[in-house]
């Protein structure tokens, strides 16, 4: 390996980090700092339950708010023929690897806290707070099996 910033001389040595000054002085720029005309913000509404059936999703109130462009649920993805997320991990196994379907948005049931249930697209982050306007009814099914 050649000497240099990534070579043998850098092992155990402090490296000059050129980006630190701007972040420490508050002059760093992040993706959130860049805005373009007409951009939209999004929010993924996630399940508060570890395991529950989704009884009802009512997006009417959120969809009707000014500035909301769309509220998507699993039904919308199904209607557009959007399938499950692919498994990108390839594991060498003795038997075939069982890969369960992974929908982008929960269908009929949430399986963990944070399971995505709806995707809201709006003009500003304030409007993205419309997640409170989207009504969900869950039937929590947490059971302990002995």
User: pLDDT value at position 141?
Assistant: 53
Contact 122, 106 (CB under 8 A): no
Considering the chain, what percentage of its residues have pLDDT values greater than 90? 15
Q: Does domain 36-83+99-107+118-141 have CATH number 3.40.190.10?
A: no
Give the mean pLDDT of the chain: 79
User: pLDDT value at position 54?
Assistant: 85
Q: Which residue has 């498994």 as its token pair?
A: 87
> Is the confidence at residue 4, as pLDDT, over 50?
no
Q: What is the mean pLDDT of residues 15-38?
A: 84
User: pLDDT value at position 11?
Assistant: 80
Contact 59, 69 (CB under 8 A): no
> Is the confidence at residue 81, as pLDDT, over 90?
yes
Residue 1's pLDDT band, with cuts at 50, 70 and 90, is: very low
Contact 91, 58 (CB under 8 A): no
| Number of other CB atoms surrounding residue 59 within 10 Å | 22
Give Cα separations from 124 to 31, 62, 112 (angstroms): 15, 14, 28
User: pLDDT value at position 116?
Assistant: 92
Contact 4, 87 (CB under 8 A): no
User: pLDDT value at position 75?
Assistant: 93
CA 17/CA 115 separation, integer angstroms = 38
């Amino acid at each position: 390996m050649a000497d240099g910033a990534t070579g043998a001389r850098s092992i155990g040595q402090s490296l000059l980090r050129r980006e630190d000054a701007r972040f420490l002085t508050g002059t760093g720029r992040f993706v959130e700092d860049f805005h373009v005309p007409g951009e939209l913000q999004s929010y993924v509404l996630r399940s508060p339950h570890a395991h529950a059936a989704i009884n009802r999703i009512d997006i009417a109130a959120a969809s009707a708010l000014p500035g909301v462009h769309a509220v998507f649920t699993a039904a919308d993805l199904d209607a557009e023929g959007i399938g499950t997320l692919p498994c990108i991990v390839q594991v060498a196994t003795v038997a075939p690897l069982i890969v369960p379907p992974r929908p982008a948005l929960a269908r009929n049931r949430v399986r963990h806290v944070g399971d995505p249930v709806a995707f809201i697209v709006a003009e500003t982050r304030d409007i993205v707070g419309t997640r409170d306007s989207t009504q969900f009814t869950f039937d929590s099914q947490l059971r302990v099996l002995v």
